[in-house]
């Protein structure tokens, strides 16, 4: 998994590529949790280039969401591929996370809810 972090004000966009699975979950966790630990709790996870996600990947996203919300932040998902969207719908995570068409829409959701 590769992750590029982009800051737009106090919103962190994680542009992710590859698989978010048991092999890569620790890389994602380190990057994402470091942001929360620094007080950057408004996070967009851009999944446009995520090719695969397993239960470990889903688990780390849920954990990140709980961490962010416990500090009055939130995590929004953006640009889900068809396969990842299907996983979110089967597991009903699309009801837990705000799922947006793209990172820009997700950022606008944050500013709208400010």
Q: How many domains does the chain have?
A: 1
Radius of gyration, alpha carbons of the chain: 13
Domain CATH for 108: 3.30.750.24
pLDDT higher than 60, residue 114: no
pLDDT tens string 73-99: 999 999 999 999 999 999 999 999 999
Is residue 52 a contact partner of residue 85, using CB atoms and an 8 Å limit? no
Q: Identify the helix (H) or strand (E) that includes residue 61.
A: helix 55-70
Q: What is the pTM of this model?
A: 0.95
Write out the residue range of the structural domain in which residue 64 sits.
2-112
pLDDT tens string 21-67: 999 999 999 999 999 999 999 999 999 999 999 999 999 999 999 99
pLDDT tens string 2-20: 999 999 999 999 999 999 9
Distance CA 85, CA 112 (A): 24
pLDDT higher than 70, residue 69: yes
């Amino acid at each position: 998994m590769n992750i590029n972090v982009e800051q737009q004000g106090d919103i962190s966009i994680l542009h992710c590529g590859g698989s978010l699975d048991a092999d890569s979950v620790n890389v994602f966790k380190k990057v994402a949790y470091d942001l929360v630990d620094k007080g950057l709790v408004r996070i967009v996870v851009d999944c446009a280039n995520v090719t695969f996600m397993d239960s470990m990947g889903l688990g780390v996203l849920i954990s990140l969401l709980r961490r962010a919300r416990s500090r009055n932040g939130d995590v929004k998902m953006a640009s889900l591929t068809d396969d990842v969207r299907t996983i979110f719908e089967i597991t009903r995570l699309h009801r837990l996370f705000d799922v947006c068409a793209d990172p820009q829409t997700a950022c606008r959701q944050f500013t709208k809810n400010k």
